Amino acid sequence: MNKQIFLRIAKYVSICLLTVFIAAVVLGGGLFLYYVSKAPALSESKLVATTSSKIYDKNDELIADLGSERRVNAQANEIPTELVNAIVSIEDHRFFNHRGVDTIRILGATLRNLRGGGGLQGASTLTQQLIKLTYFSTSTADQTLSRKAQEAWLAVQLEQKATKQEILTYYINKVYMSNGNYGMQTAAQNYYGKDLKDLSIPQLALLAGMPQAPNQYDPYSHPEAAQERRNLVLSEMKGQGYITAEQYEKAINTPITDGLQSLKSANTYPPQMDNYLKEVIDQVEQETGYNLLTTGMEVYTNVDPKVQQHLWDIYNTDEYVNYPDDEMQVASTIVDVTNGKVIAQLGSRHQSSNVSFGINQAVETNRDWGSTMKPITDYAPALEYDIYDSTASIVHDVPYNYPGTDTPLYNWDRSYFGNITIQYALQQSRNVTAVETLNKVGLDRAKTFLNGIGIDYPDMHYANAISSNTTESNKKYGASSEKMAAAYAAFANGGIYHKPMYINKIVFSDGSSKEYADPGTRAMKETTAYMMTEMMKTVLAYGTGRGAYLPWLPQAGKTGTSNYTDDEIENYIKNTGYVAPDEMFVGYTRKYSMAVWTGYSNRLTPIVGDGFYVAAKVYRSMMTYLSEDNNPGDWTMPEGLYRGGEFVFKNGARSAWTAPAPQQAPTPESSSSTSESSTTDNSSSDNSSSDNSSSQSSSTPSTSTSEQNTQQPNPRTDVQNQSPQVQPRRR
């Protein structure tokens, strides 16, 4: 190839590349113009508007008008320079050097993303953040090319029409600052009793850092996170030269509580609705990307106000449950099993009315749900995958090690019943048979089954047969009252799982609306759900859950008790009697599923004595209220099953149960009583012996109802012995 030919080829290639480039520019420009033509009109009224969102209950009655609680706008001349410096340090270093869109920042963010590195700031400028707060969704899923183009166009327009000072003023007055406070001036007055101009540098740094996650950085509810965020702002201020090293050292050594006043109640809604509204806010953002605290909309929820009020009354009065003290806490969730609608939820007793949308223990996964995991982790998968073909299938309650280890596994009483049915094993909450069953199922299949009912772990361990502890503190893993109520609801409705739903419909600011409902997915066979229900009926009638028993109501459920490690017992727990950090009950009827956790905010404060009966009593009180005027009736056995005595068999299974060789079971210390008296009297008694257990022989599972009914429940029958594979989780 001679030089002339080479030059000619190079010329044609250059022309082609230039043509492609010009075409791309023209096409991109045209696409950009098309996108921005759909952008909303820039309006000062929108930028300064006091936006409120109205929340309604299931009856379309107004619960709350969020956004109208507290708002005091600051004038430009009332904003101190130190606050401006703090905001631009953490949000937009080059705020005073760009015109709405920062190309240098975009390139920097792109390079960081390509390198896989992180950074304190993304590509959006402070002006773009204000536009997003005013007009658009904050959801990552909504960060489309069209939306980004519109956001950039409006930001450039705003920079042309407003000064930097005016833009900062809009932002400072727009942001949500937690606890019903809108705007930083409002927060300054209510947190510190001062105006912005009178605050110290560390106080201003805290306010500047809060808007990205106001509830997470709330200094009242989350002081450690708030301090970490404040110190990050201070570090950025020092790095940008806004404060000296001496000022920085003094500021970071200032307690986060410095100057904080006691919060005054800002809520205009009933106190019993606070926890529920927090979850409404979260679900709205998950589903739409919009923060209803800063975006005006109407949200119709699934909360039943009468049920929510009754749950509040159960928690906060002695009319229904006798609590051992005012410090004992309760968290529970109630769902409609037919559709997954959360009709009531409450995360604690004696809630402070001063803090809005704080920690809701009903959705937290930081406590161990103990034996309530056995039905969903062990026995239901075993029936689903045909490892067992009847509720009379035999398991072996004998000395046993965690699979693949030399670590012995014990039942609560360190005794063994020998060969017993899975129904009796679940009824009496035996640990050995639960782990044996999980081993037969396999960790992978168990995890798949759990995923289908909304439960997940980063890694499954055999200890998860009897515990919800995880190796990660992320709320997506483990169990909560919300997750457990929804999971057990799948048993109640024939195997269909529904995601917990707080919202029913949203009417957006432009007048458009959207309804929200979970269609449900099949999580298990109908036969599996029915067999599990039949087994868990006996938990209430004859087993560990008799404190929740109602003779007139068809229902099923399971108790759960967590435990302390030997180290915790030795070093922290001073009580020498029987103690535990958590006691749970999960139960359901054909209409409702309810999960209840009880314990103390400080995990090292133990449950003792009658405290073990509180969870079951809360459940029984609530189910009595829900069902006494609307008994949902009993379940109908589906095709593919048949009944043989006290047991249910799959078609093709053994038609008769053959008793194994007799095994000696522990002898109870307490005398017999009728089922009715045991649910009223025995539920409040304190069985002090750690060896107290059922007298039913493992070799006679077909014992008559009258004989089985003499068994005395014991709160200790489902205490879990932790495998060293999964340690108690701290958060």
pLDDT band at residue 324, thresholds of 50, 70 and 90? very high
What gap in Å lies between CA 201 and CA 82, rounded to an integer? 7
Amino acid 113: pLDDT: 52
3-state SS assignment for residue 686: coil
| pLDDT over 80 (residue 17) | no
pLDDT band at residue 289 under the 50/70/90 scheme: confident
DSSP, res 476: T
Could you identify the residue written with the tokens 């009020």? 309
Alpha carbons 434 and 374: distance in angstroms, whole number: 6
Whether the per-residue pLDDT at 360 is higher than 50: the answer is yes
Please give the pLDDT value at position 329.
Answer: 97
pLDDT at 179: 82
Q: Is residue 262 annotated as a catalytic residue, yes or no?
A: no
Catalytic residue of the set 82, 91, 151, 436: 91
Strand partners, 394: 421
pLDDT number for residue 462: 97
Rounded CA-CA distance 638/454 in Å is 24
Pairwise CA distance, residues 636 & 168, whole Å: 64
pLDDT tens digits, residue range 226-245?
999 999 999 999 999 999 99
3-state SS class at 596: strand
Read off the amino acid at residue 110.
T
Answer yes or no: is pLDDT of 611 > 90: yes
- Cα–Cα dist 223/695, whole Å: 51
Would you say residue 58 has pLDDT above 90? Answer: yes
| pLDDT, tens only, 86-95 | 999 999 988 9
State yes or no: pLDDT of 711 exceeds 70. Answer: no
> ∠ CA 417-421-423 to the nearest 5 degrees?
110
CA distance 718 to 462: 16
| Mean pLDDT for the stretch of residues 62-71 | 76
Is the pLDDT confidence value at 338 over 80? yes
Q: Is 371 a catalytic residue?
A: yes
Q: For the range 721-724, what are the long-range contacts, defined as Cβ-Cβ under 8 Å and sequence gap of 24 or more?
A: 721/409, 721/410, 721/412, 721/431, 721/466, 721/563, 722/463, 722/467, 722/469, 722/563, 722/565, 723/402, 723/405, 723/407, 723/409, 723/461, 723/462, 723/463, 724/407
Judge contact between 494 and 530, C-beta under 8 A. Answer: yes
Cα–Cα distance, 196 to 78 (Å, whole number): 7
CB 398 within 8 A of CB 408: no
Name the amino acid, one letter, at 623.
M
In the predicted model, what is the mean pLDDT of residues 267-292?
89
Residue 703: other Cβ atoms inside 10 A: 18
Rounded mean pLDDT, 486-511: 95
Interatomic CA distance for residues 591 and 633, integer angstroms = 9
Rounded-to-integer distance, Cα 545 and Cα 611, Å = 14
Instruction: Quote the mean pLDDT of the chain.
Output: 84
- Answer for the pair 723, 400: CB distance below 8 angstroms, yes or no: no
Q: Of the residues 332, 371, 694, 723, which is catalytic?
A: 371
- What pLDDT does residue 78 have? 92
Residues of the chain above pLDDT 90, percent: 60
Cα dist. 589→119, 614, 640 in Å?
51, 20, 22
Question: CA 624 to CA 630: how far, in whole Å?
Answer: 10
pLDDT at 148 over 50: yes
Which of the pair, 39 or 543, is modelled with greater confidence? Answer: 543
The pLDDT tens digits for 662-692 are: 333 333 333 223 233 333 333 333 333 233 3
| Distance from C-alpha of 291 to C-alpha of 284, rounded to nearest angstrom | 7
Nearest by Cα to 129 from 119, 121, 120 = 121
Task: Judge whether residue 128 has pLDDT over 80.
Answer: yes
- Look at residue 550 and give its three-state secondary structure: coil
Average pLDDT, integer, range 188-198: 94
